[in-house]
Amino acid sequence: MTVGFIGAGHMGGAMLRGLAASPLSPRLLVFDAAPGRAAQLAASIGPAAAAADSASALVAGSDVVVFAVRPADLPMLLDELRTARPASSPLFLSIAAGRTTSWLEERLPPASRVVRAMPNLGVSVGCGASAFCGGSRATQADLDAAQAILSSFGIAVRLPEKDLNTVTALSGSGPAFVAWALQAMIDGATALGLPVAAANALALQTLLGTAKVLTASGAPSVPDFIAAVATPGGTTAAGTDVLDASGARAAFASTIAAAAERAARLAAQ
């Protein structure tokens, strides 16, 4: 299988590197509008990857084409591909936030098959969290191919398309929200005199350890985990009491809602 990536930015590059390091080991093609970026990325990956001369050339040489460009850049790209009318008929896998499968199908060459996905930056280290859905013409084989690609660098969950804006907010934007909370904890520790390097190291390891505990076989639910750590009258309970009283839970709910609303607005453009 040859997988081509149009877009070699943060997410496209992360997916390329994750896919290159996965057992799937496909042949990889990459194109980017920025001069030299695709060649540089392909060279950093090694013999399994090559740079394409154009988006149309990449489509012609790929079994799966990943759209890893900004949503605002998609209309011009799709105009180019529709005009080119490539002889091949690859599966198009889009990770552009807010752009629906029907929107993509209307702008791609006739009878194009589309799968829409929302991965996150964890794909670069084999810990991605992705959700995906098929367009009106996507076959079971297409969905299986998308599942294989997305699962090769993390987990992949098939969901109805109506849920993908929420996924965009939760796991797509979520790494930044988690990092924001982590930085707030670090700031709190350094304000009490802990050296910055120590606060960073301890906070990051705490985040890593918590994730491993909660994803281990037989792990407790998140509420049960919190209850087990926050014993009544203890230090953790003193902290969670502050969080509960501060409205932090409502603030995070509003954060997810705002990101999902933005994804929905992108879909309407």
* Residues 131 and 240 reside in one and the same domain: no
* Residues 254 and 232 reside in one and the same domain: yes
* Residues 189 and 237 reside in one and the same domain: yes
Distance CA(241)–CA(264), nearest Å, equals 34
- Residue 267 near residue 165 (C-beta atoms within 8 A): yes
Question: 3-state DSSP: the chain helix, strand, coil percent, rounded to 5?
Answer: 60, 15, 30
pLDDT tens digits for 148-201? 999 998 999 999 999 999 999 999 999 999 999 999 999 999 999 999 999 999
* Residues 32 and 139 reside in one and the same domain: yes
Say whether pLDDT at 126 is over 90: no
Q: Judge whether 46 lies within some domain.
A: yes
Task: Identify the sign of the CA torsion 232, 233, 236, 240.
Answer: positive
pLDDT tens digits for 5-42? 999 998 999 899 888 888 888 999 999 999 899 999 99
* Residues 138 and 213 reside in one and the same domain: no
Q: Judge whether 169 lies within some domain.
A: no
Residue the block writes with tokens 């049960």: 224
**C-alpha dihedral, 67 to 95 to 135 to 263, nearest 10°:** -130
* Residues 136 and 256 reside in one and the same domain: no
* Residues 88 and 180 reside in one and the same domain: no
Domain span holding position 123: 2-164
Distance CA(107)–CA(215), nearest Å, equals 40
Domain count, the chain: 2
What predicted TM-score, i.e. pTM, was given to this entire model? 0.89
* Residues 158 and 180 reside in one and the same domain: no
* Residues 67 and 134 reside in one and the same domain: yes
Distance CA(269)–CA(267), nearest Å, equals 6
Q: Which amino acid is at 103?
A: W
